[in-house]
Structure 1
Amino acid sequence: MKDIARAAGVSQTTVSFVLNENRDVLISDETRERVINMAKDLGYELRSINSGHFVDPKAPFIGFLIDEIATSVFASLSIDEAQQRAWDSGYLLQLATSHNDKVYEEDVLSRWIAEGVTGVIYGSILTRKVNPPSILKQINTVLLNCYTDEYSYPTLLPAEIMGGFSATECLIEAGCKRIAYINGEEWMEAAAERLQGYKNALSSYGLEYDDQIVKPGNFMPSGGYTATMELLSQDIRPDGIFCANDLMAIGAYEAIKEAGLDIPGDIRIVGYDDHELASHLNPPLSTISLPHREMGQFAIDELLTTQRAQKRKLRTIRLECPLVERKSAR
């Protein structure tokens, strides 16, 4: 959906309204046509209420139970892709948001079992350990962006350590010798794993880890700005900065430009997340893309494979977080 929005020059919200044929929103016919044409050009299979593909009220369905949606745009990417993959495979997707209410989760899962659910994606907006209701063991299940102590379910996680490695490696290969890292909130597992990837890359390339250029952040532009100002005040400033997300990279941009320095001439920067704003910064931000779409698709594929085989594979799959190289690190 992000690719369609970028190609059509509209927001992802507009794309969603157009592709779902929502006529209650005032979107011009010209914009609707442009979005649909771009979607077709990009190979997106349209679901049309006029196509003759009607919904059978008894159609098989897959449940998607997630703790939060509103706190991050990224959750919607996994949900959208899971919904499309399920639809293409002949299934509907039912969504429920629990806000970590275990009683509510039990009720939803009990109802889904009674209705003959084919499988359940149990997801978290943050990568973390979870303790799902025991009733989940009765259902064909995939954990998305979360895991249990025993890894007792098929589990899909982003390969955050390798993502941190790739971001740091990008700066090293661009010639940086003193690479700083601005971390996110340290209690988040994603922040810890990205930091580990940073350390691994330094070690692999024979560069010394220096905790004086590893700064705490808050995953917000203010954290990136404050940390970068501290880095620039040091006697030897860094020639590269890896920010644990793109919003902090925006703050780093501001601090560097205030100091009269050039990106990438004086300092190269790599972010993380491939936020919608990353490609619109000046210069465009090199970043690591989280595989939200791929995780949504893969979760459906895993459920349906298990359904056909009637046998659950207890495996943990870490999906690649690829580098999106732009001008900030060249």
Structure 2
Amino acid sequence: MTDIAKQAGVSQSTVSLVLNDVHGTKVSRATRELVLSIAREIGYPQVRHVRNPRTPVRNLILYLTDELTTSPHAMQTIDGATNHAWEHDCIVSVFATRSDPDREAAILTHMLANPALLGVIYATIFTRVATVPAALHDVPSVLLNCHTNERAAAGIASVVPAEVLGGYAATMHLIEAGHRRIGFINGEPWLEAACERHKGYRQALTTGDIPYDPALVREGDWQVGSGFEHALSLLVQADPPTALFCANDLMAVGAIDAARKLKLDIPERLSIVGYDDQDMARYIHPPMTTVLLPNFEMGRWAADTLIAQARAGAPSLRQNIKMECPLVRRESVAPPFRRI
């Protein structure tokens, strides 16, 4: 089947649908004929299985998340999952529980009884340890933006962003530009993402042989206002930082406003790096260097892993994937300003 897929230029899932004579899918007649022709050429045994017309095709994915409206990131992961699912002849049904156990239980009771259900993507808005509902232990499932320490759920694959490496890449970019005084404006420290980005910041300082200075670190709330206030407090110090790493783009926008208030040109007098790569990062002046949070790709990975697992009838071998958060270089970073 792999050989047929390569020669036909299609996915192995498409080959499986054609050779198993699965109807009601998006496979075109031309693709179907091409796959069958190649199968005949290489001698693949084309045994037609008699399908019970009353047996529904399992092509429905339940995407269950705690929140949808508190962040733009949720829709990006959903787009990644739904786009990939559609490519593999599956559709996604999205439900938000608002962290209500009764609502979650009711949704699961209803959806798990659906004979078309292929599996479940269980997602969270903030990266965190999740308690997987017992009902999912016997259903093909993937954790998205969360993970578990439970032995009972050890076989459930998960994908989260590699936040430590993201914080490291942002800080190292500033170090490589020549900065030694680098301020860090973080979010709430109790959040896993904030803790991991702070860890990446510290690791980069160690790599650059730069002592960690707590006076250069602030804890914000992810909003523009806290970015402004904390940047202002850092920049009016007797020995201010020449660069700022902000743990999200919104706080970085606030930091830019603070720099303008102090008449510090960016990047000539102050370099700034954000995190998330929201749309605003490319449209502000100057366009902001930031770190991409791979929401879309995590959604694609979750759907791909779930579909493969469900159709193979076995759990995925990949347990806990940390997806790269790459640096997006734009124009907000330059070598430190040197007074003559």
TM-score when normalising by structure 1: 0.81
Task: Report if aligned partners of 1:102, 1:133 keep a CA contact under 8 Å in 2.
Answer: no
Aligned to 1:105: 104
Q: Using the TM superposition, give the Cα deviation of residue 310 of structure 1 relative to its aligned residue in structure 2, in angstroms.
A: 2.0
Task: Report if aligned partners of 2:188, 2:219 keep a CA contact under 8 Å in 1.
Answer: yes
Work out whether 1:328 is the aligned partner of 2:332: yes
Instruction: Return the letter of the residue paired with 2:125.
Output: I
Aligned to 1:135: 135
Aligned to 1:17: none
Instruction: Return the letter of the residue paired with 1:176.
Output: H
Write the deviation string for residues 53-87 of structure 1: whole angstroms up to 9, x where unpaired: 69xxx552111000100111110011112111111
* Counterpart selection for 1:231 from 231, 234, 254: 234
Instruction: Return the letter of the residue paired with 1:181.
Output: F
Aligned to 1:222: 225
Instruction: Return the letter of the residue paired with 2:166.
Output: G
Q: How does 1:147-162 map to 2 (within 5 A)?
A: 147-150=147-150, 152=154, 153-162=156-165
Unaligned runs of 5+ in 2: 1-24, 28-55, 335-340
Q: How does 1:116-127 map to 2 (within 5 A)?
A: 116=115, 117-127=117-127
Q: Secondary structure at the match of 2:234?
A: helix
Q: Secondary structure at the match of 1:318?
A: strand
Q: Secondary structure at the match of 1:215?
A: strand
Task: Report if aligned partners of 2:26, 2:89 keep a CA contact under 8 Å in 1.
Answer: no
Q: Using the TM superposition, give the Cα deviation of residue 107 of structure 1 relative to its aligned residue in structure 2, in angstroms.
A: 2.1
Aligned to 1:26: none
Work out whether 1:64 is the aligned partner of 2:67: no
Aligned to 1:82: 81
Q: Using the TM superposition, give the Cα deviation of residue 154 of structure 1 relative to its aligned residue in structure 2, in angstroms.
A: 0.6
Q: Using the TM superposition, give the Cα deviation of residue 260 of structure 1 relative to its aligned residue in structure 2, in angstroms.
A: 1.1
Q: How does 1:286-305 map to 2 (within 5 A)?
A: 286-305=289-308
User: Would you say how many aligned residue pairs link Structure 1 and Structure 2?
Assistant: 277
Q: Using the TM superposition, give the Cα deviation of residue 278 of structure 1 relative to its aligned residue in structure 2, in angstroms.
A: 0.6
Aligned to 2:249: 246
Q: Given the superposition, is the C-alpha separation of residues 125 and 286 from structure 1 closer, same or farther in structure 2, using an over 3 Å criterion?
A: same
Work out whether 1:308 is the aligned partner of 2:307: no
Q: Secondary structure at the match of 1:190?
A: helix
Write the deviation string for residues 11-57 of structure 1: whole angstroms up to 9, x where unpaired: xxxxxxxxxxxxxxxxxxxxxxxxxxxxxxxxxxxxxxxxx969xxx
- Counterpart CA distance in 2 for 1:88 and 1:309 is 18
Instruction: Return the letter of the residue paired with 1:261.
Output: L
Instruction: Return the letter of the residue paired with 1:232.
Output: L
Instruction: Return the letter of the residue paired with 1:148.
Output: T
Unaligned runs of 5+ in 1: 1-51
Q: How does 1:176-191 map to 2 (within 5 A)?
A: 176-191=179-194
- Counterpart CA distance in 2 for 1:147 and 1:106 is 20
- Counterpart CA distance in 2 for 1:187 and 1:233 is 27
* Counterpart selection for 2:204 from 201, 204, 220: 201
- Counterpart CA distance in 1 for 2:264 and 2:70 is 34
* Counterpart selection for 1:263 from 248, 260, 266: 266
Q: Using the TM superposition, give the Cα deviation of residue 133 of structure 1 relative to its aligned residue in structure 2, in angstroms.
A: 1.6
Write the deviation string for residues 182-241 of structure 1: whole angstroms up to 9, x where unpaired: 011112110110000000010011111000000111101111111111111211110110
Identity of aligned residues (%): 41
TM-score when normalising by structure 2: 0.79
Q: Secondary structure at the match of 1:62?
A: strand
- Counterpart CA distance in 2 for 1:83 and 1:325 is 29
Aligned to 1:44: none
Q: Secondary structure at the match of 1:121?
A: strand
- Counterpart CA distance in 2 for 1:294 and 1:223 is 30
- Counterpart CA distance in 2 for 1:161 and 1:237 is 25
Aligned to 1:284: 287
Q: Using the TM superposition, give the Cα deviation of residue 314 of structure 1 relative to its aligned residue in structure 2, in angstroms.
A: 5.7
Aligned to 1:5: none
Q: Using the TM superposition, give the Cα deviation of residue 112 of structure 1 relative to its aligned residue in structure 2, in angstroms.
A: 2.1
Task: Report if aligned partners of 1:156, 1:299 keep a CA contact under 8 Å in 2.
Answer: yes
Instruction: Return the letter of the residue paired with 1:327.
Output: E
Q: Secondary structure at the match of 1:327?
A: coil
- Counterpart CA distance in 2 for 1:168 and 1:53 is 46
